[in-house]
Amino acid sequence: MPKGVELTHVNIVSNSEMLAVKAGHGTVVLPTTDTYQDVLPCVLPFFHIYGLTVTMISKLQLGCKLVTLPNFRPDTFLNALAEHKGTVLHLVPPIKF
C-alpha cells in the first residue's frame, strides 16, 4: 500500500510563514538588500517537503539566491560553494564527504 501525506496549499503557505518568523535574536537568513543577498547551494530534493518548504519556497520568498545542484558529489558541491560563496546550507546527516 503506498504511503503519503496530503499537503494542502494552506499547509505549505503556513509552513513557509512559520520559517520567516524570527527565532530568538535573529533569523538564519538576513534580509535581501541592494547590496546583500543570501546564497543557498541546494542539494536536497525539492520533491521532499523539507527541500520544498525549508530550502526553496521560504527562501525564495525572502529573496535568496538558490544554486541548484542535480545531485550531491563532493567536488561539484565544493566548487559551487567556492564559486557562488554560499552563506546558508541545509544539509542532512547522510551527506558525507
- 4-51, pLDDT tens digit by residue? 778 899 988 888 888 877 666 667 788 889 999 999 999 988 888 888
Please tell me the predicted confidence (pLDDT) of residue 23: 66
Q: What's the burial of 25, exposed, middle or buried (CB within 10 Å: 0-12/13-18/19+)?
A: exposed
Q: Quick one: pLDDT band at residue 62, thresholds 50, 70, 90?
A: confident
Global pTM? 0.78
Angle at 24 between CA 43 and CA 20, to 5 degrees: 45
- Any idea of the CA torsion for 61, 65, 71, 75, to the nearest 10 degrees? -150
Query: How confident is the prediction for the chain on average, in pLDDT?
Result: 86
Question: CA neighbours within 13 Å on the CB side: how many for 90?
Answer: 24
Domains and CATH numbers, the chain: 35-96 (3.40.50.980)
Cβ count near 77 (within 10 Å): 19
